[in-house]
Amino acid sequence: MTNSSVQFLDNAFRKRWQTLLSVDDLVEKIVKKLEVRGELENTYIFFTSDNGYHTGQFSLPLDKRQLYEFDIRVPLMVRGPNIKPNQTSQKGVEHSSLLEVHNSLSRPRRCSGSISSMWDYFPDLQMPVANVDLGPTILDIASYNVNKTQMDGMSFLPIMQGKMISSSWRTDILVEYEGEGTNVSDPACPLLGPGVSECFPDCVCEDSCNNTYACVRTIAPSANLQYCEFDDDEVFVEVYNVTADPYQLKNIAKTIEQEVLEKMNHRLMMLQSCSGQTCRTPGVYDPRFEFTEVKTERMRIKEEVFSCCHCLVLNPPEPGGEGIKWVSVCGSQIYV
């Protein structure tokens, strides 16, 4: 990283801390107003973010579009009735769980640049919580039966109130991002060619069309993993043991057991295809997990060619089907 980039990062980092002063003032005003009105002890206050952020990690300047912990993990703090005060996880995130923001579970792959994940968690209880859980939690607080909805998430109100045991909660969540880029080269970085975006003066680009990925983030008593597949020509796979490698420096996709890769690939397809209560099925490292035959046509095609390498399978849409037009495959992974 150049000296000019380092200086730029230092300045940006300092300004971000300065900006938080106004956020702190805002929170204080809200709390005081609730207290004056006598509603403070009857109000739940959620404090979180829509995404993580990196400021120099992996020599990337400033952005939020990568699959790594610093971009997908966020704080989640909650204050409200029946929540014991001063509860803090080992990570220093009060009243939180593995909060992974996920804006939608299934959508067409394209260069749209839409953000889809962020998270944090209760390390002691091993209970991952996703942003899709915020809606069900608020409905639960309002005494509405969440089971009457088609929401993918789960209410984490019982977790905050100490009424939930970890064995009855999920062990993994979905992370997705669709990279963005243009069909023309960045004038400041012509040698990079088309398809990239968010390029800094020293031509370090934060995003590209092939920065489109889908991941399973697993938190369980026996595993702390992240499994990701890229939607690119190489169909690149990244797997990290976050316990042994918290900074995600070593991709173990080539050395991990093939059975684990297949199960994680299967679980990823399940999470991408699920809806409503079907999204709450046990994860790979949950004792209740069953490696059953895939149900959807999209998933069936993937598994049939799971071991295929460097091939192209053409699939015209079937009447009433999912409209699959092509499948590109490489190594042990496949994308539809």
Predicted local distance difference test score (pLDDT) of residue 218: 92
Residue for token digits 């800094």?
200
| Residue of 253, 279, 240 whose CA lies nearest to 72 | 240
Predicted local distance difference test score (pLDDT) of residue 88: 56
- Structure-derived torsion over alpha carbons of residues 144, 148, 151, 152, reported in degrees to the nearest 10: 110
Does the predicted model carry a pTM greater than 0.95? no
Q: What CA–CA distance (Å, rounded) separates 40 from 29? A: 12
Predicted local distance difference test score (pLDDT) of residue 336: 35
| Residue of 32, 277, 317, 238 whose CA lies nearest to 154 | 277
Classify burial at 323, counting beta carbons within 10 Å of its beta carbon; exposed 0-12, middle 13-18, buried 19 or more.
exposed
Average pLDDT per consecutive 10 residues, the chain (336 residues; last block may be shorter): 87 92 94 95 91 88 91 89 70 32 30 41 64 93 91 90 79 91 82 86 86 92 92 91 95 93 92 89 82 52 41 39 38 36
Phi, psi of 24 (to 5 degrees): -60, -40
Question: Vertex 185, ends 184 and 189: CA angle to 5°?
Answer: 165
- Structure-derived torsion over alpha carbons of residues 34, 83, 137, 221, reported in degrees to the nearest 10: 150
Please state the separation of Cα 145 from the chain's center in Å. 26
For residues 267 and 283, is the Cβ–Cβ distance under 8 A? yes
